[in-house]
Amino acid sequence: MFDPTLSELFSRQETPFYYYDMDLLNRTLAAAKTAAAARGFHIHYALKANFNQRVLAAIHGAGFGADCVSGNEVKKAIEIGFDPAKVVFAGVGKSDKEISYALDRDIFAFNVESVQELSVIDGLAAAAGKTARVALRINPNVDAHTHQYITTGLDENKFGIPQWELGDAIETLRQCSHVELIGIHFHIGSQITDLNVFKSLCVKVNELNGWFDERGYRLQVLNVGGGLGVDYHHPDTNNIPDFDAYFGIFADFLERRAGQEVHFELGRALVSQCSSLISRVLYVKNGIKKNFLILDAGMTELMRPALYQAYHQIERADAGFAGTDVSELHYDVVGPICESTDCFGKEVLLPVSKRGDLIAIRTVGAYGEVMASRYNLRDEVRYVYSDALA
């Protein structure tokens, strides 16, 4: 249950807003850092999950690197203070402008997603008088057993270089005089909760690491991406992922050569549980077949349920209703946007609610605020931090 002691503090705030529990964020970062450091692993935070200023400052303060998928994310990371030597730039469609910007900042590496991209980077690096460090993102055809919209490592996905093109990639690399191959990169999907999937990934990485070694490429970096899922159904009892078990899989099953670094690109697992979307009930519509709670938050604030039917725990955020004798009803919890897909959850069991009641939508720290839009000319998204409430 959402902490009811925050109700009075929330009642003073204009809704809707993202509430960030900064203590939970810092504890999550510390747990990840400890588990990774014990095995000599390197973490790059995936900015696409959340680029809130305070959140990024905390992650930078924890000493992580940055994983970026656009030129503006590279720029944001460097502005926050991330060392360019710990910034990687991925993305299936990097523009010339974005590549040139990253080259000028001497970032650590580009995760290259096609053979053609190698030639483009080589030409831009030559024009800039630079040598670009690259890792080849390889599509390993490993099923992540996650939602079809967030899987990235199958043959039918647009990401990465298919294995049958690796020979062409090697030939292209030999023709590139301003590109240095430093590693291989993988990312098979997001919200992966079955750790056995990562065992399968390790088998594929080992195979390809050996393939490059046989051809004379002693790779510096094995970048295995991210994808570790979080518990959307139990945000209080499982509010910090089991990083020790996650990193333990790679420590046990990945075959590193001497001196090879292992890099991870974690996003969701670091930030999801630290934030809730706080909203008020605008209207209650009780019907014969359906009861609706119409909130002042909508898909413009939280897109995930409308985009790929994502589940989020929905709770009352008021004090004074806890107990077994509270009357409850099933509600479809919806927003004010003029789209039928503007729905956060169907048949959600909640205490009988009225206009003005506070609602908390949990586990929204990843792909929540960053996906907010101005559709219907909505206000800019607002946010409140736990250490600023008084």
3-class secondary-structure state, position 51: coil
Percent of the chain at pLDDT > 90 equals: 85
Residue 289: per-residue pLDDT: 87
Q: Contact at 8 Å (CB) between 159 and 198?
A: no
pLDDT digits (tens, 9 = 90+) for 336-378: 999 999 999 999 999 999 999 999 999 999 999 999 999 999 9
176 confidence band (pLDDT: 50, 70, 90): very high
pLDDT digits (tens, 9 = 90+) for 10-59: 988 999 999 999 999 999 999 999 999 999 999 999 999 999 999 999 99
Name all domains of the chain by residue range, CATH numbers in brackets: 4-17+273-388 (2.40.37.10), 22-271 (3.20.20.10)
Helices (H), the chain: 7-11, 22-37, 53-61, 71-80, 96-104, 115-128, 166-175, 196-214, 243-253, 268-271, 304-308
- Tokens coding 357: 């009641």
User: In terms of Cα–Cα distance, which of 35, 33, 40 is closest to 260?
Assistant: 40
Provide CB contacts within 8 A for 290, sequence distance 6+. Answer: 332
- Tokens coding 205: 């990485």
pLDDT of 188 > 70? The answer is: yes
User: In terms of Cα–Cα distance, which of 306, 297, 235 is closest to 272?
Assistant: 235
Rounded to the nearest integer, the mean pLDDT of the chain is: 93
